[in-house]
Structure 1
Amino acid sequence: MAVYRHIHIDYWQDGFVLDLTPEEKYFYIYLMTNSKTSQCGIYELPKRIIETETGYNRETVEKLLKRFEEYGKIIYSEESKEIFIKNWLKHNKVVSPKVKKCVEKELLDIKNIDLINLFLKECDRYGYSIDRGNINTTMDSVSIPIAKVENNFEYGYGEKEKQKEKQKEKEKEKYEAGEKNRGGSYGKYKNESRKFKYATEHEKEDGVLYQKPSEEQLRKFREELKRI
């Protein structure tokens, strides 16, 4: 029987997706529609399979997986080779008895316990009832640092995370611009005759002899720096 994965048309207008590179857009769609995807959004996906299906080499695959982990969109377990699409339930409802039974069966085969626990928490968030009687949610199998995962857990395609990254980048650029301006102003001021050096008396630098400034000179020097 054929298996289909649905991508909503709003995908292309989502704030997060709009800012992705063409390579990232392609890879994100691949993660949601590849041959190994499951009904619960957790599935085993060895990097070798990704290489074969996308045509990317190992370096590119690892780079993209890491990037989407940083975006807060996936969790990839190196130990079990399983991946969890974090916003899967937002776009794939678990309401019909047939879908629920399929999800419950898939959860039995998942090796990473933390991924199961995160999925069940998402089910609670969306109000989906899952029979947990046979599902192993104890820490006796492959696991990942759940605290780290939960700290980065966000929903939707990721517009919120993208905005955070942009804000950090703006703050960094603003800081660097300020440092550059201060450096430029100081460089100009340094070449002026009013420049004094905090040094011991008769300290020599670049062939120039500097005398230790007086308290009055230091006071004026500090006032000059405040105006730069």
Structure 2
Amino acid sequence: MAIYRTVSLTFWEDNKIVDDFTYKDKYFLLYLLTNPHTNLIGCYEVSIRQMSNELGLDKSEVEELLTRMEQVHKVILYAEETKEILIKNWHKYNWTKSDKLLKKVEALIEYIKNERLKKELEEILKKYRVSIGYLYPRDTSVTDPVLNINNNINLNNNTKLNVLNSNTKLNNLDNKKELIFNNIFSTIERNFGRTIAPLECDVIKSWVDNNISEELIVYATQIAVCNNACSI
């Protein structure tokens, strides 16, 4: 479990937050984003009683805030029968392009009890993979709707493989740099004991692009950990 959560400063500049959220709405949403029950997928179990105790609010106030978040602001889904909550935009700020991370997300989705929330998160993951250019491994002998948009266009297997290879490159890094990036990414996640944020992921990519050695980057992050500075 992560020992802290990062909230972007843009939270306070978001037009929806500024214009539509009351001070209680903001307090409640910050709680939903940072409470100790949160996890990698942004879908976790927490009862109304727990929220009431942790927030210092009456149960009726929590119920009212849950309703506002789901029906008015449309930023969450809550399943009272299983006591599960889903933060709809969690993935935008907590997921990266890491194949390892996305496989963890996929595995954790299977533990969601409520079918409505599970289907919603499966759809979010599907759209997220498309948005970052991630393609599932495919049997290239089967017609692929992504590669073969027009059924009248016939692509041979070699062409399909070339398209897959070009799309699965990590941010245009060559194979060697991609390997270095993955090694650094995994090491830093392990050292920090948490998921690397998208902005931190971009910083790591820039280091690799600028040919900063893997050993130097890892050494620098180890020093940061020793100084209780688990961030990039």
TM-score, normalization: structure 2?
Answer: 0.52
Q: Counterpart in 2 of 1:201?
A: none
* Residue pair 2:42, 2:91 contacting (<8 A) in 1 also: yes
Q: Quote the Cα distance in structure 2 between the aligned partners of 1:124 and 1:62.
A: 31
Distance apart, 1:22 and its partner CA:
1.3
Q: 1:22 aligned to 2:12? A: no
Assess, with a 3 A threshold, how the Cα gap between structure 1 residues 2 and 114 changes in structure 2: closer, same or farther.
closer
Q: Counterpart in 2 of 1:111?
A: 113
Q: Quote the Cα distance in structure 1 between the aligned partners of 2:88 and 2:5.
A: 16
User: What letter is aligned with 1:68?
Assistant: M
* Residue pair 1:75, 1:85 contacting (<8 A) in 2 also: yes
SS in 2 for 1:127: helix
Q: Counterpart in 1 of 2:58?
A: 57
Q: Counterpart in 2 of 1:74?
A: 76
Could you list the per-position Cα deviations for residues 30-86 of structure 1 after superposition, in whole angstroms to 9, with x for gaps in the alignment?
011111111111111111110111111101000000011111111100111100111
Distance apart, 1:122 and its partner CA:
1.1
Q: Quote the Cα distance in structure 1 between the aligned partners of 2:121 and 2:83.
A: 17
Distance apart, 1:91 and its partner CA:
1.5
Structure with larger Rg? 1
Assess, with a 3 A threshold, how the Cα gap between structure 1 residues 99 and 3 changes in structure 2: closer, same or farther.
farther
Q: Quote the Cα distance in structure 2 between the aligned partners of 1:87 and 1:107.
A: 16
SS in 1 for 2:78: strand
* Residue pair 1:76, 1:83 contacting (<8 A) in 2 also: yes
Q: Counterpart in 1 of 2:45?
A: 44
Structure 1: state its 5+ residue gaps.
Answer: 132-228
Q: Counterpart in 2 of 1:5?
A: 5
Residue 93 of structure 1 is aligned with which of 92, 95, 98?
95
Moved more, 97-106 or 57-66: 97-106
* Residue pair 1:38, 1:106 contacting (<8 A) in 2 also: no
Counterparts in 2 of 1:1-228, with a 5 A limit? 2-19=2-19, 20-70=21-71, 71-127=73-129
Q: Quote the Cα distance in structure 1 between the aligned partners of 2:29 and 2:78.
A: 14
* Residue pair 2:84, 2:114 contacting (<8 A) in 1 also: yes
Report how many aligned residue pairs link the two structures.
131
* Residue pair 1:65, 1:76 contacting (<8 A) in 2 also: yes
Q: Quote the Cα distance in structure 2 between the aligned partners of 1:3 and 1:53.
A: 17
Structure 2: state its 5+ residue gaps.
Answer: 137-232
* Residue pair 1:47, 1:58 contacting (<8 A) in 2 also: yes
Over aligned residue pairs, what C-alpha RMSD do you find? 2.0
Q: Quote the Cα distance in structure 2 between the aligned partners of 1:75 and 1:130.
A: 28
Could you list the per-position Cα deviations for residues 106-129 of structure 1 after superposition, in whole angstroms to 9, with x for gaps in the alignment?
223210122111111111212266
Q: Quote the Cα distance in structure 2 between the aligned partners of 1:24 and 1:62.
A: 12
Distance apart, 1:105 and its partner CA:
3.4
* Residue pair 1:73, 1:86 contacting (<8 A) in 2 also: yes
Assess, with a 3 A threshold, how the Cα gap between structure 1 residues 34 and 89 changes in structure 2: closer, same or farther.
same
SS in 2 for 1:83: strand
SS in 2 for 1:106: helix
